[in-house]
Structure 1
Amino acid sequence: MKNSVFISVPLLLSSVLSGCTHAETVEKPNVAMIFIDDMGFGDLSCYGDTVVKTPNIDKLAQNGVRFTNFYVNSPICSPSRVALNTGMYPMRFKIHSYIAGSKQNKKRAMENYLDPTAPFLAKTLKANGYQTGHFGKWHMGGGRDVGDVPYPTEYGFDKSMVAFEGIGDRVLFPNHGISTQSSKLGKGKIVWAEKCVSTSIYIDSALAFIEKCEDKPFYINLCPNDVHDPHLPDSTKVEKWKGVTKNPWEQKFFAVLEELDRQIGRFITTLDEMGKLENTIILVASDNGPTDWPRYYETSSYPEAYQGELYPPGFTGSLNGRKWSLYEGGIREPFIVYWKGHFPEGKVDSETVVSAIDIFPSVCTLLGIEYPENLDGSDKSNAFEGSPMTVTPPVMWEYGSNPGGSIWPGNKEFKSPNLAIREGDWKLLINVDGSDAQLYNLKNDPAEKNNLADQNKEITERLKDKLLNWRNAMPVEAVVN
């Protein structure tokens, strides 16, 4: 149950901090955002995975709040990460697909990097006394042939250790073409390491940074990318999975997912040993649904010894679609929030619709910090504290309506219309020309099997108008395919 003592924590923090003297101090809570790459809605055992056990992440859910209606704001990495960090729809910054090389970005009317003047959660927290660090995948500018981009410090981070899709200090992988490209850009200390140890390096770096913060509050982004394919686990950890599945792609994925959970457990345990866990807000989510490359459906990709059904690794539960799709499996993700003594324990919130753009204002409210007025996201901190919010603003998505083409799922049935909106229990998908209208009641039909557009024309038209007005207000002109 929600403890009434903590209902006004943001107000209490704000009022005490504004009136304190040098002798009076209030311990501000720390914040750790764990944003996992390409992990599906059903990949954690606390979200229904019956194959791989994820006890360390599950423990956060057991001692916190687990949401079942959390969405990222794009089914692909770069715009999803922009939305999380800015609290705004990523297309406002002309980032609607993954940031690639400069020629490809130009062809797709994409920026090479996020505008550093954009609102940014780290920048806001740094301005309010937080030590800030980013460890793991960046992918908001830098890499490939693009080196003339802002460093993470220009977005408010005191310290960063990124991957090959970024500049500054970074971890690069041997025998990996884009890593080799990145190394030629310079601009930072480079650590060469196998992908299977990258999360361990990021966590070690994050913990070293936290230790140096001493008594100052910290905010970190921890963004492991080993769940993104190709899955390259330590070979010794694959053997146990050969008796579980004959699918060789799954064997590697299960080994990677298990190790990811172990590393996150190590991070949490060390925070506890440092005396930091009790006053740290931890948020866990994924940036989009699991991979769906065409090769996973092609027999040539599998060894002759494997004669089973062809399918990609990663679970979405019963949800339709995967990565690169606006169906639920591409954008609905796990979301767990934990703050000992402040958030309820073991609560499942199946009512509140939360999206990644809501994290910026929600975290600031919990910390008693003012946030920019023009954010697209809204404050959902009441839900974090255990009070579900049944009425929330609609959420809208775009994927594939822009110039230059997009990556589409290998399973053609997962290719969705290129616009979507969720308002209450209703979700409408359409193309920018208004075609292929699909209306679903997600409360009754989360798998999106029963298209109700013809039976509910008034709802369909109302949501269609909202969605097209939103899309037409964006800076990149839509292309009708």
Structure 2
Amino acid sequence: MKLILILSITFFLAYGCAQKDKNTKEGNKPNVAIIFIDDMGYGDLSCYGDTIVKTPNIDALASQGVRFTNFYVNSPICSPSRVALNTGTYPMRHKIHSYIAGSRENENRAMANYLDPSVMTLARILHNNGYATGHFGKWHMGGGRDLGDVPYPTDYGFDKSLVSFEGIGDRVLFPDDGLSKASAKLGKGNIVWAPKHVSTSIYIDSALTFIRNCDEQPFYINLCPNDVHDPHLPPSVSVEKWKKVTKNPWEQKFFAVLEELDKQVGRFITELDKMGKLENTIILFASDNGPTDWPHYYKERSYPEAYDGELYAPGFTGGLSGRKWSLFEGGIREPFFVFWKGHFPSNQVDNETVVAAMDIFPSICSLLGIEPPKEIDGTDKSNAFRGNMMTETPAVMWEYASNPGGSILPGNKDNISPNLAIRKGDWKLLMNTDSTNVMLFNLIDDPKESNNLVDENVDLAGQLASDLLSWRRKMPVEMVTFRHK
């Protein structure tokens, strides 16, 4: 393992900042780092209620900033969620409404094979304003499987990138992994083969090398580990301690991966501090969707070892209903906190402001004094980042698999939601595109979505449904009368 890490650090040592303009003084522009985890549940961090696995390093950073309890990603699955973060727009506008797969499957689902590189991204607008820009970790906005003829991350405004099997360019691939082998056949970049459980440390080493070369230039990075996405493949020695905590073999591995992720995030923060860059770095932490929910987690025969207890999917939603691939809260509500020493309050919790991932783009632009594109859907929430709760915010809407063609649904049938949703103020409405299975919840009184109030609030439900359907019909992918339940 040491050899792998040494080689990876050496291999990517050339990662530096963009060409500096010697005639430009950048002054004290703040750096920006977005840490975007893969498949983390709302309740997986101990600062969000996890009582089993402690995440002291992430908790420590959260305690020095503003922690939000009403943060939403814009999809319950990876590709569209990441598109929203990087573009500040609803992902359906780009015909990316599910995960990007192979070309034939994408065509069957009316999906784009990649994000249009002409779209304005956060990386591009910051690059145009003097920032060195880097992406380290999961990409999944084009590339992998049979998709080799797609844009590189550098075509979206990033100076440097190091991705995984769901992207092209320089990347880290996992041995004995089918998607990694398919990626290797595509070429299109330098490849490091390494076990999955060391990939996060490689991404962090590469990001730190990139940052160290940014002495005269502010940096913006996306740090996107493949953890805690399954399969969870920690070294066996790190699983042993968790066998005393839970009998569920899936959970044992997940806990080991989550614990290691916390250590690696802590190492990243420590190194930033040693470089003297932490104080002037805006850090945002979130995840792309809720925890996994494959059917095999609930089937004893799916586990290769004998097991006589209850099997269930790993990862916590903090009691929220639904998981990944669901528009119930557990699929789209995520942990989220922001840190900027001396500019954002310390140890503050915002229980009021509704923030969506697409709001991060305009909010960062506002903090940096940059004019955001006029065509984005996100709204500026920087005032809330500064500690001022924002109770009046625009409605947020979601679509997941409202056109047939192979979208993934939760393995636990109780977690399957209608395929459209809207949150406006305290209220959330879900419905299918054929106007069936309408659900209305007051999330302040009922965050677990257990009490459907549609019959008691017919007029409100009708207005929210009308707004939701009107929004969906404006999207470029045809809406058909398709239902999940």
The TM-score by the shorter chain falls in which range? Answer: over 0.9
Aligned counterpart, 1:119: 120
TM-score, normalised relative to structure 2:
0.94
Distance 2:23 2:316 in 1: 52
- The ranges of structure 1 where at least 4 consecutive aligned residues each deviate by more than 3 angstroms after the TM superposition are 21-25, 302-305
Aligned counterpart, 2:379: 378
CA contact (8 A) 2:26 2:130 kept: no
Deviations 1:142-181 (CA, angstroms, capped at 9, x unpaired)? 0000100011111000000000000000000001011000
SS in 2 for 1:238: helix
Aligned counterpart, 2:361: 360
Aligned counterpart, 1:212: 213
Aligned counterpart, 1:172: 173
The answer to whether structure 1 residue 49 and structure 2 residue 78 are counterparts is no
Which letter does structure 1 place at the counterpart of 2:112? E
Distance 1:329 1:23 in 2: 46
Change beyond 3 A, Cα 1:25–1:304: closer
Deviations 1:293-336 (CA, angstroms, capped at 9, x unpaired)? 00011120235642222210000011000000000000000001
Distance 1:60 1:305 in 2: 40
Aligned counterpart, 1:397: 398
Change beyond 3 A, Cα 1:246–1:29: same
Which ranges in structure 2 are unaligned for 5 or more consecutive residues?
1-21
Which letter does structure 2 place at the counterpart of 1:152? P
Aligned counterpart, 1:455: 456
The percentage of aligned residue pairs carrying the same residue is 74
SS in 2 for 1:203: helix
RMSD: 1.2
Distance 1:22 1:187 in 2: 35
Distance 1:232 1:291 in 2: 15
- 1:44-193 alignment, distance < 5 Å: 44-193=45-194
TM-score, normalised relative to structure 1:
0.95
SS in 2 for 1:386: coil
Distance 2:304 2:181 in 1: 29
Change beyond 3 A, Cα 1:224–1:23: closer
- 1:282-321 alignment, distance < 5 Å: 282-302=283-303, 305-321=306-322
Distance 2:52 2:193 in 1: 32
SS in 2 for 1:263: helix
Distance 1:288 1:133 in 2: 22
Distance 1:319 1:382 in 2: 27
CA contact (8 A) 1:37 1:288 kept: yes
Which letter does structure 2 place at the counterpart of 1:209? F
Which letter does structure 1 place at the counterpart of 2:193? W
Which ranges in structure 1 are unaligned for 5 or more consecutive residues?
1-20
- 1:427-446 alignment, distance < 5 Å: 427-446=428-447
Distance 2:291 2:241 in 1: 22
Deviations 1:443-477 (CA, angstroms, capped at 9, x unpaired)? 00000000000110000000000000000001111
Deviations 1:43-99 (CA, angstroms, capped at 9, x unpaired)? 000000000000111011110010000000000000000000000000000000000
CA contact (8 A) 2:37 2:224 kept: yes
Deviations 1:328-384 (CA, angstroms, capped at 9, x unpaired)? 000000001000111000000000000000000000100111110111000000000
CA contact (8 A) 2:26 2:216 kept: no
1:403 is displaced (CA, Å) by 3.4
CA contact (8 A) 1:109 1:403 kept: no
Which letter does structure 2 place at the counterpart of 1:38? D
Aligned length: 461
Aligned counterpart, 1:477: 478
* Most deviating of 63-72 and 24-33: 24-33
CA contact (8 A) 2:100 2:106 kept: yes
CA contact (8 A) 2:26 2:218 kept: no
SS in 1 for 2:430: strand
